[in-house]
């Protein structure tokens, strides 16, 4: 159970305070307990799980011991050095690689079992040292085991549910959205399992299955519950306390009432990044972006841990980097007059489509990863000033077969079912490319030339401009019935469509500078005794790159594991 509301000004004492209840924070707390310490977790929100809970739950862990594909420490280090574009710290990479498999085994011992998806490639698949099998995903768990805490776990995004009700895992999501082999049977089993669970449905309409990020966070919360580790919800970090030059506790507020937590063994900051702070975005990111484009929980990750660390002299790193992911704005179906960000992380790579900037020109291999897509947007915008936003252009074949953000394929969600106010503001439709270009406010002749050139590539199967479909990551998501290149096809069947793509993100990836033990470093180059930071609260070990699926939660959980071990072994 969560801890009860303390009286105003109360002081409570534990060995370690963990700030943040995402996967990294909860893992750190469980490990601290298992190593003989008394931790407590504080969480700003009314729900636990943070950004981790709304993610795919993947962990990118080289040499994980679960993949069938071959891997080695040297290959992984070679790959990371190649893709990190010179912006990395080798000491952190070594620590990450040394502890990853051990952390995965620890998760399994807690009941959080991870599996490797056969053939799932690294994102930059043509780089030296790249391979497959480094991305791990949690198996489904039964939310009933959480008891009342089930209802305090942050909910899944709508894209991870069928009809807003039936929870999907990653495989089911792809299978149903694109009518893969056996999709009808998949849908039937999901619905039957839900409706036959009569006892659960009497309590709630929410599917009790936990998948993806909710499976990871639900399993870790269950481990906390089994160990009676306190979790304080609605408890916002307001400051770090120091004693004789070391961090010895935290100041916080619960519903506006002050509470102080003593933590003589140390404090672990796992409060997430700063992507929901417009000021910090404006101060640090390389181009102007809006916090409303982010795919993270609104108002939550505003840099609390970052600013509290800076207040006591902590250094920072890679503050200009984000975990980029394209998004689109769409009206909320539950709140009037509110636009929300919808994920476009996979939509830009489907056949019968292409992406263009505001000049009507392609700028990217559309089959690349979402982070590479975001970085291409930035590079093109710096060069042309015409890429934020950019556009996804597609034809009727795409519309019939594939999802586009929250807009499901036409066989499920035909045009007539979409709200009329969406047309011309969020989704654009025309009988000709010229008419579509006029609605998009892009040069019609240029867009027509771009479409014609792309259609020529579709006939030969060779993208002469950006190499779409050339590497195995591109082809892993290709369509077997599309050819000669499974990653793209002609845009030639009217009506034609377009949606605006914004430069969204999955969180910021710059933060407090840490060493290989996850200790926060001061501006003078020394470690701040008693203070640790993990996840997006700290600078990414990868610099400005996204190596593979699970590249956010992989280092978050590994360095949480490392931080807990270091505190228990040395006292900070």
196 C-beta neighbours (distance < 10 Å), count: 9
Q: Which phi and psi (to 5°) does residue 527 adopt?
A: -70, 140
Cα distance between residue 53 and residue 151, in whole Å: 13
In sequence order, the β-bridge partners of residue 240 are 250
Q: Mean per-residue pLDDT for 107-129?
A: 95
β-strand 16-19 against 39-42: which pairing, if any? parallel
Rg (CA), the chain: 24
Cα distance between residue 262 and residue 250, in whole Å: 7
Cα distance between residue 404 and residue 410, in whole Å: 10
Helix (H) or strand (E) holding 308: helix 304-311
pLDDT in tens, 521-542: 999 999 999 999 999 999 999 9
Q: Which is more confident, 200 or 399?
A: 399
Cα distance between residue 544 and residue 390, in whole Å: 22
Q: How far apart are the first and last CA of the chain?
A: 29
pLDDT score recorded for residue 572: 40
For the record, the structure tokens of 58 come out as 């993947």
Closest CA to 241 of 301, 316, 309: 309
Three-class SS of residue 339? strand
Closest CA to 551 of 517, 509, 503, 516: 509
Q: Mean per-residue pLDDT for 448-468?
A: 98
pLDDT score recorded for residue 219: 98
DSSP 127-187: STT--B--EEEEPPEEGGGGGGGGGGBPPPPGGGEETTTEE--HHHHHHHHTT-TTHHHHH
Q: Which domains occur in the chain, in start order?
A: 12-142+225-324+507-572 (3.50.50.60), 326-503 (3.90.700.10)
Closest CA to 390 of 293, 302, 314, 512: 293
pLDDT score recorded for residue 158: 74
Cα distance between residue 531 and residue 491, in whole Å: 55
Which ranges of 61-162 does DSSP label H, i.e. alpha helix? 73-83, 90-109
Q: Predicted confidence band at 168 (pLDDT cuts at 50, 70, 90)? A: confident
pLDDT in tens, 478-534: 999 999 999 999 999 999 999 999 999 999 999 999 999 999 999 999 999 999 999
Q: Does the pLDDT value for residue 568 go beyond 60?
A: yes
Q: Does the pLDDT value for residue 332 go beyond 70?
A: yes
Q: What is the mean pLDDT of the chain?
A: 93
pLDDT score recorded for residue 570: 57
Q: Does the pLDDT value for residue 7 go beyond 60?
A: no
Q: Mean per-residue pLDDT for 36-63?
A: 96
431 C-beta neighbours (distance < 10 Å), count: 10
For the record, the structure tokens of 65 come out as 């011991």
Q: Does the pLDDT value for residue 400 go beyond 60?
A: yes
pLDDT score recorded for residue 518: 98
Q: Mean per-residue pLDDT for 387-394?
A: 97
- Can you list the positions of beta strands (E) in 357-467? 390-394, 427-430
Residues 6+ apart with CB under 8 A from 518: 268, 532, 533, 534, 538, 559, 560, 562, 563, 566
pLDDT score recorded for residue 546: 95
Q: Does the pLDDT value for residue 473 go beyond 90?
A: yes
Q: Which phi and psi (to 5°) does residue 516 adopt?
A: -70, -15
pLDDT in tens, 408-453: 899 889 999 999 999 999 999 999 999 999 999 999 999 999 999 9
Q: Does the pLDDT value for residue 179 go beyond 80?
A: no
pLDDT score recorded for residue 62: 97
pLDDT score recorded for residue 4: 47
Helix (H) or strand (E) holding 267: strand 266-269
Cα distance between residue 99 and residue 93, in whole Å: 10
Maximum average pLDDT range among 33-37, 178-182, 186-190: 33-37
Q: Does the pLDDT value for residue 178 go beyond 80?
A: no
Do residues 343 and 324 make contact, with C-beta atoms less than 8 angstroms apart?
Answer: no
pLDDT score recorded for residue 1: 40
CB neighbour class for 1 (10 Å; exposed up to 12, middle 13-18, buried from 19): exposed
In sequence order, the β-bridge partners of residue 427 are 423, 499
pLDDT score recorded for residue 202: 77
pLDDT score recorded for residue 170: 74
Q: Predicted confidence band at 177 (pLDDT cuts at 50, 70, 90)? A: low
| HSE toward the beta carbon, residue 74, CA cutoff 13 A | 0
- Considering only the C-alpha atoms of the chain, give the largest distance between any 2 of them, rounded to a whole number of Å: 72
């Amino acid at each position: 159970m969560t801890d009860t509301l303390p009286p105003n000004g109360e002081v409570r004492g534990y060995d370690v305070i963990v700030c943040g209840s995402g996967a990294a924070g909860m893992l750190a707390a469980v490990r601290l307990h298992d190593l003989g310490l008394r931790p407590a977790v504080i969480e700003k929100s009314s729900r636990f799980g943070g950004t981790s809970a709304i993610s795919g739950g993947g962990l990118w862990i080289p040499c994980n011991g679960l993949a069938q594909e071959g891997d080695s420490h040297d290959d992984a280090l070679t790959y990371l050095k190649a893709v990190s574009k010179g912006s990395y710290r080798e000491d952190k990479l070594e620590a990450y690689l040394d502890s990853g498999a051990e952390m995965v085994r620890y998760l399994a011992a807690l009941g959080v079992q991870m599996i490797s998806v056969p053939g799932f490639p690294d994102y930059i698949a043509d780089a030296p040292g790249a391979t497959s099998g480094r991305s791990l995903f949690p198996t489904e768990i039964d939310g009933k085991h959480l008891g009342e805490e089930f209802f305090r776990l942050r909910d899944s995004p709508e894209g991870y549910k069928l009809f807003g009700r039936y929870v999907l895992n990653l495989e089911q999501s792809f299978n149903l959205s694109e009518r893969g082999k056996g999709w009808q049977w998949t849908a039937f089993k999901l619905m039957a399992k839900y409706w036959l669970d009569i006892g659960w449905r009497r309590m709630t309409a929410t599917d009790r299955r936990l998948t993806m990020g909710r499976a990871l966070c639900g399993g870790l919360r269950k481990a906390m519950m089994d160990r009676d580790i306190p979790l304080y919800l609605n408890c916002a970090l307001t400051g770090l306390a120091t004693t004789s030059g070391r961090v010895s506790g935290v100041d916080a507020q619960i519903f506006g009432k002050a509470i102080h937590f003593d933590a003589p063994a140390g404090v672990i900051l796992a409060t997430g990044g700063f992507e929901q702070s417009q000021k910090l975005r404006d101060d640090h990111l390389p181009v102007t972006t809006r916090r409303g484009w982010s795919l993270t929980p609104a108002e939550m990750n505003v840099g609390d841990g970052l600013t509290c660390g800076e207040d006591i002299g902590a250094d920072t790193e890679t503050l200009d980097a984000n975990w980029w992911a394209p998004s689109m704005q769409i009206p909320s179906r539950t709140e009037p007059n509110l636009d929300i960000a919808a994920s476009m992380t996979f939509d830009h790579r489907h056949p019968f489509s292409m992406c263009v900037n505001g000049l009507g020109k392609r700028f990217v291999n559309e089959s690349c990863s979402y982070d590479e897509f975001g970085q291409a947007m930035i590079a093109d915008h710096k060069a042309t000033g015409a890429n934020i936003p950019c556009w996804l252009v597609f034809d009727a074949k795409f519309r019939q077969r594939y999802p586009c953000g929250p807009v499901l394929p036409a066989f499920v969600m035909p045009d007539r079912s979409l709200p009329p106010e969406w047309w011309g503001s969020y989704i654009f439709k025309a009988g000709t490319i010229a008419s579509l270009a006029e609605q998009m406010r892009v040069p019609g002749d240029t867009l027509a030339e771009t479409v014609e050139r792309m259609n020529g590539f579709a006939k030969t199967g060779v993208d002469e401009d950006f190499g779409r479909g050339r590497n195995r990551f591109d082809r892993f998501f290709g369509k077997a019935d599309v050819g000669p290149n499974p990653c793209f096809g002609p845009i030639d069947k009217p009506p034609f469509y377009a949606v605006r793509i914004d430069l969204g993100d999955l969180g910021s990836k710059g933060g407090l500078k840490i060493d290989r033990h996850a200790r926060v470093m001061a501006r003078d180059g020394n470690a701040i005794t008693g203070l640790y930071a993990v996840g997006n609260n700290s600078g990414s070990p990868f610099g400005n790159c996204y190596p593979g699926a699970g590249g956010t939660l992989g280092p978050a959980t590994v360095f949480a594991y490392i931080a807990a071990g270091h505190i228990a072994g040395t006292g900070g």
